[in-house]
C-alpha cells in the first residue's frame, strides 16, 4: 500500500498550502485592498470633529425622541454591539417574540395613533447591526422628530426622502434609509432641540 507515502505527502501538503492559501493569499488581498479601496477595506468609518462616531455600514441605538430610532437589536445588552453580532433567534410561535413585538407596536401607536406600524420597526434584524429602516418606518417617526426639533413635518419628510437609498440596479433588495447617517445630518441641519437632547443631559 501507499499509506506511508500518502501520509508524508499529507503533512507536507498541509504545511505548504497553509503558507500559500492561509498566509500569502489573505495578506496579498489585504495589501491590494488597502491600496485600492482604503476607505471601504477599513469599514467606511465616520469621524466628526476628529472623533470616530461609527461606520456607514453599521447601525447604532437611538432612544432620545429627537432622533429617528433604529430597529430593535439583539446584539449586546444595549443593542448594536458591533463586537457581538446576532439576531434574537426567537421562533415564530415563541410567546417572548409575540409579546415583545406587541409591546413595541403598542408603544409606537401611542405616539402616532391610527397609522399602521411598519413591521421592520418592531422586529429585530439578523445581524443586530442593521443600519437601515424602511422608508415607511422613517415616515412613521417623522411627527415625533419634527415636534422635538421644531421643524415642519413636510420639511422633515423631504429630508428623509433625500436619505432614502433606492433598490440596487433598480430591482435588487429593498428601498432603505440609513438611520445613523440620517441622524448625523439631522444634528447638523436642525441642531436646536429640547432638553431631552443628549447634548443637554
Partner 1 sequence: MTAHGWAQIVVFLGAVLLLTKPLGLYLTRVFDRRRTWLDPLARPVERLLYRLTRVDETHEMRWTEYASAMLLFSLVSFIVLYAILRLQAWQPSGNPQALGPVPPFLAFNTAVSFTTNTNWQAYGGESTVSYLTQMAGLAYQNFMSAAAGIALAVAFVRGIARRESATLGNFWVDLTRASLWVLLPLCLAGSLVLVSQGVVQNLKPYDRAVLIDPQTVTTTDGTGRETKTEVTRQVIAQGPVASQEIIKELGTNGGGFFNANSSHPFENPTPLTNLLEMIAIFAIPAGLVYMLGELTGSRKHGWTVWAAMAFLFLAGVTTAYWAEAQGNPLLAADQQPSALAPGGNMEGKEVRFGIPASVLFATVTTDASCGAVNAMHDSFTPLGGMVPLVNIMLGEVIFGGVGAGLYGMLGFIILAVFIAGLMVGRTPEYLGKKIEAYDVQMSMLAVLIFPLTVLLFSAISVISPSFGTSSISNPGPHGLTQILYAFVSAAGNNGSAFAGLGANTPWYNVALGFAMLAGRFLFIVPMLAVAGNLAGKKRVPPSPGTFPVTTPLFAVLLVSVVLIVGALTFFPALSLGPILEHLMMGQGRTF
CB atoms within 10 A of CB 16: 10
Q: What are 178's three cell numbers? A: 440609513
Q: Which is nearer to partner 1, 64 or 143 (CB)?
A: 64
Using the rule CB under 8 A, is 112 a contact of partner 1?
no
123-138 CB burial, b ≥16 within 10 A, e <16 = bbbebbbbbbbbbbbb
Using the rule CB under 8 A, is 148 a contact of partner 1?
no
- First-last CA distance in the chain: 77
Using the rule CB under 8 A, is 85 a contact of partner 1?
yes
What span, in angstroms and rounded, lies between the C-alpha atoms of 81 and 129?
7
Using CB under 8 A as the binding criterion, the count of chain residues that bind partner 1 stands at 113
Using the rule CB under 8 A, is 162 a contact of partner 1?
no
The one segment of 57-65, 141-149, 150-158 that binds partner 1 by CB under 8 A: 57-65
Using the rule CB under 8 A, is 176 a contact of partner 1?
yes
Using the rule CB under 8 A, is 14 a contact of partner 1?
yes
Amino acid at each position: 500500500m501507499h499509506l506511508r507515502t500518502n501520509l508524508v505527502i499529507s503533512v507536507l501538503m498541509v504545511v505548504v498550502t497553509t503558507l500559500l492559501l492561509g498566509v500569502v493569499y489573505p495578506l496579498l488581498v489585504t495589501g491590494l485592498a488597502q491600496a485600492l479601496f482604503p476607505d471601504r477595506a477599513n469599514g467606511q468609518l465616520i469621524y466628526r470633529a476628529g472623533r470616530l462616531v461609527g461606520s456607514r455600514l453599521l447601525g447604532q441605538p437611538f432612544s432620545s425622541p429627537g432622533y429617528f430610532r433604529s430597529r430593535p437589536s439583539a446584539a449586546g445588552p444595549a443593542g448594536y454591539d458591533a463586537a457581538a453580532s446576532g439576531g434574537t433567534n426567537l421562533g415564530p410561535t415563541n410567546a417572548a417574540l409575540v409579546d415583545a413585538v406587541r409591546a413595541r407596536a403598542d408603544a409606537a401607536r401611542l405616539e402616532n395613533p391610527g397609522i399602521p406600524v411598519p413591521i421592520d420597526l418592531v422586529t429585530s434584524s439578523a445581524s443586530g447591526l442593521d443600519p437601515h429602516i424602511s422608508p415607511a418606518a422613517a415616515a412613521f417617526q417623522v411627527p415625533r422628530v419634527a415636534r422635538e426639533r421644531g421643524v415642519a413635518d413636510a420639511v422633515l419628510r423631504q429630508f428623509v426622502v433625500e436619505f432614502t437609498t433606492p433598490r440596487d440596479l433598480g430591482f435588487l433588495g429593498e428601498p432603505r434609509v440609513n438611520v445613523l447617517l440620517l441622524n448625523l445630518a439631522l444634528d447638523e441641519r436642525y441642531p436646536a432641540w429640547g432638553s431631552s437632547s443628549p447634548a443637554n443631559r
